[in-house]
């Protein structure tokens, strides 16, 4: 398995800055909506340059890959709402990424990510460098109460100057209504209903 785990990935000061930014993002976004089939709120998040640099510097150091960039980052809050319970069925990702950096921002429960039959912890300020297009991953049955939650970032890391970055720039340049309609339709791919998602490519093509 190529995925690996890093505890206390950021120094305390950086971790607090990132956490505060995520909280303010969740409170002020108008599209942080609940996806019932995943049992989670989600949208995309862009960090200011100084925090993006901190994340990329850490990613470059831990992976040993010097030319990484961020294609896009999902901001996620897992929580029970009504009859919807957070779940993640076993799957591999259909989005090209060198790694997806799963950063745990804050969690009230112990809900690991199972990668190729190994349970990997998700603790505050820990991260998994997930090779999600090769290593099957899922989560065990959700152990939380109505009040529990888990706030995560999923940072998709790709090589700088990779063609996908040009498509991402085009997507970001779309007007807000068009971008909103596009994102609502295609992301996230519902792996809980389409666990063989490797065969379903996103409309921006194969990489």
> Nearer Cβ to Fe ion, position 159 or 188?
188
Q: How far is CA 116 from the centre of its chain?
A: 18
Q: Considering the complex, what minimum distance in angstroms separates the CB of residue 138 from Fe ion?
A: 9
| Footprint on this chain of Fe ion (rule: CB under 5 A) | 93, 132
Comparison of 69 and 93: residue with beta carbon closer to Fe ion: 93
**Residue (85 or 92) nearer to Fe ion, CB:** 92
Please give the residue whose beta carbon sits closest to Fe ion in the complex.
Answer: 93
Letter string b/e over residues 146-174, b meaning 16 or more CB atoms within 10 A of that residue's CB: eebbbbbbbbbbbbeebebeebbeebeee
CB of 16 to Fe ion, least distance (A): 28
Tell me whether residue 39 or residue 132 sits nearer to Fe ion (CB atom).
132
User: Are 82 and 39 in contact, with CB atoms under 8 Å apart?
Assistant: no
Q: In this structure, what token pair is assigned to residue 98?
A: 């060198």
Q: How far is the CB of 133 from Fe ion (least distance, A)?
A: 9
Q: Measured from the CB of residue 167, what is the shortest distance to Fe ion in angstroms?
A: 20
What does residue 19 show for φ and ψ, rounded to 5 degrees?
-60, -45
């Amino acid at each position: 398995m190529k995925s690996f785990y890093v505890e206390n990935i950021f120094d305390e000061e950086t971790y607090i800055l990132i956490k505060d930014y995520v909280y303010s993002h969740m409170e002020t976004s108008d599209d942080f909506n609940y996806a019932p089939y995943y049992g989670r709120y989600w949208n995309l998040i862009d960090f200011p340059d100084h925090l993006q640099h901190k994340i990329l510097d850490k990613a470059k150091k831990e992976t040993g890959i010097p030319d990484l960039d961020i294609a896009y980052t999902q901001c996620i809050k897992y929580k029970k709402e009504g009859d919807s319970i957070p779940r993640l069925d076993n799957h591999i990702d259909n989005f090209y990424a060198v790694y997806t950096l799963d950063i745990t921002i804050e969690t009230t429960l112990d809900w690991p990510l199972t990668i190729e039959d190994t349970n990997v912890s998700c603790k505050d300020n820990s991260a998994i460098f997930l090779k999600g297009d090769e290593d099957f991953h899922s989560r065990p049955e959700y152990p939380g109460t109505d009040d529990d939650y888990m706030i995560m970032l999923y940072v998709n890391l790709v090589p700088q100057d990779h063609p996908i970055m040009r498509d991402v720039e085009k997507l970001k340049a779309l007007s807000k209504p068009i971008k909103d309609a596009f994102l609502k339709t295609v992301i996230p791919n519902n792996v809980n209903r389409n666990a063989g998602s490797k065969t379903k490519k996103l409309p921006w093509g194969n990489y």
